[in-house]
Structure 1
Amino acid sequence: MRHAIALTIALFAGAGIVRAEDATYPNITHDELVKAIEAKKVTLLDANGTETYKDGHIPKAIDFEKQEKDLASKLPADKSALIVAYCANERCTAYRSAAKAAKELGYTNIKHYPKGILGWKSAGGEIEKAE
């Protein structure tokens, strides 16, 4: 009986623990993202991988896979600046790596664009291609 009680307490205590890689980031809507881009008040992190990035990404987005090791030099000096990470679509979780990397660098205003590149394209958003 004591073992069962101890296990129950351990489970409830552990339920409140959120690992950094499992952290969630607030979503940003398509319209909010468009406004932030137009106002030049956002840094975008594309977490789709370099090959997908080359095929098309949101203009000015950083290729996270390619720039991960040098990310600190690519992000703004202001740690409260808006950073938005995205990947393919609502089911994709690759954005978490980019968001986590920014968080580990001390950024405090990190959001997720859940529609990803596929939602951006279907909404008529402009894309850039890389060499």
Structure 2
Amino acid sequence: MREAESLLGQPGVHFYDVNTLEIWADGYIPGAVFFNVRDWKKLLPENKQATLVFYCVNRLCTSSVLAARAVMKLGYTDVRQMPDGIYGWRISGRPVAKP
């Protein structure tokens, strides 16, 4: 999470929340994009070297891993996954945004 926090707000870094809409509504990492949509490919930047950070709810959730693998198959080269998810982010006292 420290690495993710250090990337937050950096140019060329994109955060994607792969949670359900209900979890998203409870709070997400500021600036993150809700990724759990049918046309998710439209949410990706054109630059395939951009840093993409995916997260879901916690370490038991595999949605962010699956999303990260899917975008790597599209040719994105700097794809990361935050294992502790939004729950770990919140528990650590880091800021969240709400829709």
Q: Same fold (TM over 0.5)?
A: yes
Other structure's SS at 1:111 match: strand
Other structure's SS at 1:76 match: coil
Counterpart residue type for residue 106 of structure 1: G
Other structure's SS at 2:52 match: strand
- Cα displacement (A) at 1:54: 1.5
Which stretches in structure 1 are left out of the alignment for 5+ residues? Answer: 1-29
Residue 73 of structure 1 pairs with residue 42 of structure 2: yes
TM-score by length of 2: 0.86
**What is the CA deviation profile of residues 4-53 of structure 1, one whole-angstrom value per residue up to 9, with x for unaligned ones?**
xxxxxxxxxxxxxxxxxxxxxxxxxx111111114344211111112211
Of 88, 96, 111, 2:80 maps to: 111
Aligned to 1:48: 19
Two-structure CA RMSD over aligned residues (Å): 1.6
* Whole-angstrom distance in 1 between the partners of 2:16 and 2:10: 17
Counterpart residue type for residue 35 of structure 2: F
* Whole-angstrom distance in 2 between the partners of 1:95 and 1:127: 18
Other structure's SS at 1:96 match: helix
Other structure's SS at 2:8 match: helix
More strand by share: 2
TM-score by length of 1: 0.67
Aligned to 1:120: 89
Which stretches in structure 2 are left out of the alignment for 5+ residues? Answer: none
Q: Mapping of 1:82-97 within 5 angstroms? A: 82-97=51-66
Counterpart residue type for residue 10 of structure 2: A
More helix by share: 1
Q: How many residues align?
A: 99
